[in-house]
């Protein structure tokens, strides 16, 4: 009986899962079922009696229909999402099947070793110090918490304050210096760690979205306070990377801890073609990155790396009397903020084995090339303008209201309208952003499946959408 339940239920999930993946080319990329319908379908009363497991799965898939974004396919360019590689997805299924608690080595020896190896491989690919410690967390948000927790430990220890023992009440203040292009997850991490938003000093960026060394130097003038400098390897609008080789020595001269948000941009270090953009990044004290973005592992999968192992361990390690420890083994709980957790490193291990070093570089190079092609070609359509041509895999396009006397507000409205209409065609998914005061369409490419046929198809769809306006608006001198 139990055996039959496994067979029927898992075969059904395999069949329905494959159908989802294989129908990607013929289904709309955007969701098309309304909130109301989803609630109505899924929100049935919880019954007193249970159901056969295969019926549960069958109804789950039917009820969710139209509410699943096509983000595993090659025409999804919203946010910075990434799809999933076959080996990574299959490995993720096995993680759920094995159902180990990856809190400590004794709870799942193989997964603990896989995590050790995957962490070493990642440091090697990114060119980070071989001695750095690491943690596999839910994403860059928690990687920030992990890295900045280590920073808090070290900086306060240096100031004679044991924060793990005494907490933050009465502790010396920590100042955080960062740039205007930081991601919102940085602030949330500071809130969680008790450092607060007010500890943040935001410095302006150059036209290229980079922090200027002289501006950073100036920020240190005056007081000598424990300081964390947070730099960016790939911001979410234009993929800008700070000039690490110049900035990090300045911060270190003033005793600061340097943390790098490399959620997706750190992957550029894995490509010989783009590595130069990250020159000097290895000099930092901590780094974050996501597997679930550019590496194409399933959610959720983020990485924290810390150069100062003692600080990392000092902030997170935990020993109890009821757990078993194995000599010489790496217990994940010593590096991670979670207790019980899934074997998150397994899909990363599988993804890196599927791609190899060259496959990772190729994924990075192709994504950048397609991002550039999409921005150039959509930007060249009538009624469109290139706002940022990608340096890596992120770019911006704006759509212009062609009527005489149209204002910036009209162009903003037009941009949001065109984004919505492109999504409504079902041919592609894009999101919007406000960048330097203007609404723009973000083009983010980080899916291993995107190819030239996808690019052609999406440019054609954008062309058709823009054509809907041109009939009424294009006078003889509009262009």
Ligand X SMILES: *Cc1c(COP(=O)(O)O)cnc(C)c1O
| CB-nearer residue toward ligand X: 108 or 234 | 234
146 sits near ligand X (criterion: CB under 6 A):
no
181 sits near ligand X (criterion: CB under 6 A):
no
Which of 30, 80, 171, 211 is close enough to bind ligand X by CB under 6 A?
80
Which stretch, 121-129, 193-201, 228-236, 326-334, contacts ligand X (CB under 6 A)? 228-236
Which of 73, 83, 139, 243 is close enough to bind ligand X by CB under 6 A?
139
209 sits near ligand X (criterion: CB under 6 A):
no
298 sits near ligand X (criterion: CB under 6 A):
no
278 sits near ligand X (criterion: CB under 6 A):
no
442 sits near ligand X (criterion: CB under 6 A):
no
Which of 263, 268, 458, 462 is close enough to bind ligand X by CB under 6 A?
263
92 sits near ligand X (criterion: CB under 6 A):
no
337 sits near ligand X (criterion: CB under 6 A):
no
Q: How many residues contact ligand X, by CB under 6 A?
A: 14
Which stretch, 166-174, 210-218, 260-268, 365-373, contacts ligand X (CB under 6 A)? 260-268
Which stretch, 23-31, 258-266, 353-361, 448-456, contacts ligand X (CB under 6 A)? 258-266
Minimum CB distance to ligand X, residue 138 (Å):
7
261 sits near ligand X (criterion: CB under 6 A):
yes
Taking a C-beta distance cutoff of 8 angstroms, is the pair 290, 351 a contact?
A: no
Say how many C-beta atoms besides its own lie within 10 A of residue 259's C-beta.
Answer: 28
Cis previous bond, 148, omega within 30: no
Minimum CB distance to ligand X, residue 59 (Å):
30
Which of 302, 347, 383, 432 is close enough to bind ligand X by CB under 6 A?
302
Which of 100, 141, 199, 237 is close enough to bind ligand X by CB under 6 A?
141
Residues 6+ apart with CB under 8 A from 431: 77, 78, 79, 419, 441, 442
Q: Using alpha carbons only, what angle is made at residue 116 by residues 321 and 95, rounded to the nearest 5 degrees?
A: 85
294 sits near ligand X (criterion: CB under 6 A):
no
Residues 6+ apart with CB under 8 A from 194: 167, 168
Minimum CB distance to ligand X, residue 178 (Å):
12
CA 53 to chain centre: 33
| CB-nearer residue toward ligand X: 287 or 349 | 287
Minimum CB distance to ligand X, residue 436 (Å):
17
Nearest position to ligand X, beta carbon? 139
Say how many C-beta atoms besides its own lie within 10 A of residue 149's C-beta.
Answer: 24
344 sits near ligand X (criterion: CB under 6 A):
no
| CB-nearer residue toward ligand X: 139 or 343 | 139
Taking a C-beta distance cutoff of 8 angstroms, is the pair 303, 291 a contact?
A: yes
315 sits near ligand X (criterion: CB under 6 A):
no
Minimum CB distance to ligand X, residue 410 (Å):
30
Minimum CB distance to ligand X, residue 175 (Å):
21
268 sits near ligand X (criterion: CB under 6 A):
no
| CB-nearer residue toward ligand X: 212 or 261 | 261
Residues that bind ligand X (CB under 6 A): 80, 139-141, 183, 185, 234-236, 261, 263-264, 290, 302
């Amino acid at each position: 009986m139990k055996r039959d339940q496994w067979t029927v239920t898992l075969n059904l999930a395999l069949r329905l899962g494959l159908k989802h993946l294989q129908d990607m080319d013929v289904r709309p990329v955007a969701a098309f079922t309304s909130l109301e319908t989803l609630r109505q379908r899924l929100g049935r009363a919880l019954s007193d009696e249970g159901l056969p497991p295969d019926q549960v799965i069958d109804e789950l898939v039917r009820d969710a229909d139209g509410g699943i974004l096509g983000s595993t396919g090659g025409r999804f360019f919203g946010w910075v999402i990434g799809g999933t590689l076959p080996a990574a997805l299959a490995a993720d299924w096995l993680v759920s099947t094995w159902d180990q608690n990856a809190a400590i080595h004794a709870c799942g020896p193989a997964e603990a070793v896989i995590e050790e190896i995957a962490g070493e491989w990642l440091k090697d690919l990114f060119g980070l110090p071989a001695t750095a410690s690491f943690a596999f967390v839910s994403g860059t948000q928690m990687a920030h918490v992990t890295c900045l927790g280590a920073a808090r430990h070290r900086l306060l220890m240096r100031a004679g304050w044991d924060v793990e023992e005494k907490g933050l009440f009465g502790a010396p203040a920590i100042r955080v210096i960062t740039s205007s292009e930081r991601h919102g997850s940085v602030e949330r991490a500071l809130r969680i760690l008790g450092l607060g938003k007010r500890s943040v000093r935001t410095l302006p960026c150059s036209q290229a979205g980079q922090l200027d060394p002289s501006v950073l130097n100036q920020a240190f003038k005056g007081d000598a306070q424990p300081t964390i400098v947070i730099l960016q390897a790939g911001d979410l609008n234009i993929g800008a990377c700070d000039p690490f080789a110049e900035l990090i020595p300045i911060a270190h001269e003033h005793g600061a801890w340097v943390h790098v948000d490399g959620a997706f941009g750190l992957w550029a270090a894995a490509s010989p073609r783009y590595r130069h953009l990250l020159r000097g990044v290895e000099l930092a004290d901590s780094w974050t990155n996501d597997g679930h973005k550019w590496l194409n592992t399933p959610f959720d999968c983020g990485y924290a790396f810390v150069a100062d192992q003692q600080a990392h361990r000092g902030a997170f390690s935990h020993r109890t009397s009821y757990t078993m420890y194995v000599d010489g083994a790496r217990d994940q709980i010593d590096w991670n903020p979670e207790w019980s957790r899934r074997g998150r490193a397994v899909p990363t291990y599988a993804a890196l084995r599927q791609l190899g070093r060259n496959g990772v570089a190729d994924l990075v190079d192709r994504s950048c090339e397609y991002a550039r092609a999409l921005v150039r070609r959509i930007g060249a359509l009538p009624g469109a303008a290139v706002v940022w041509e990608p340096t890596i895999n992120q770019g911006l396009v704006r759509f212009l209201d062609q009527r005489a006397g149209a204002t910036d507000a009209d162009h903003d409205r037009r941009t949001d309208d065109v984004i919505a209409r492109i999504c409504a065609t079902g041919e592609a998914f894009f999101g919007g952003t406000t960048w330097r005061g203007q609404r723009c369409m973000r083009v983010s490419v980080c899916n291993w499946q995107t190819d030239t046929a996808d690019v052609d198809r999406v440019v054609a769809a954008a062309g058709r959408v823009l054509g809907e306006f041109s009939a009424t608006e294009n006078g003889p001198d509009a262009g």
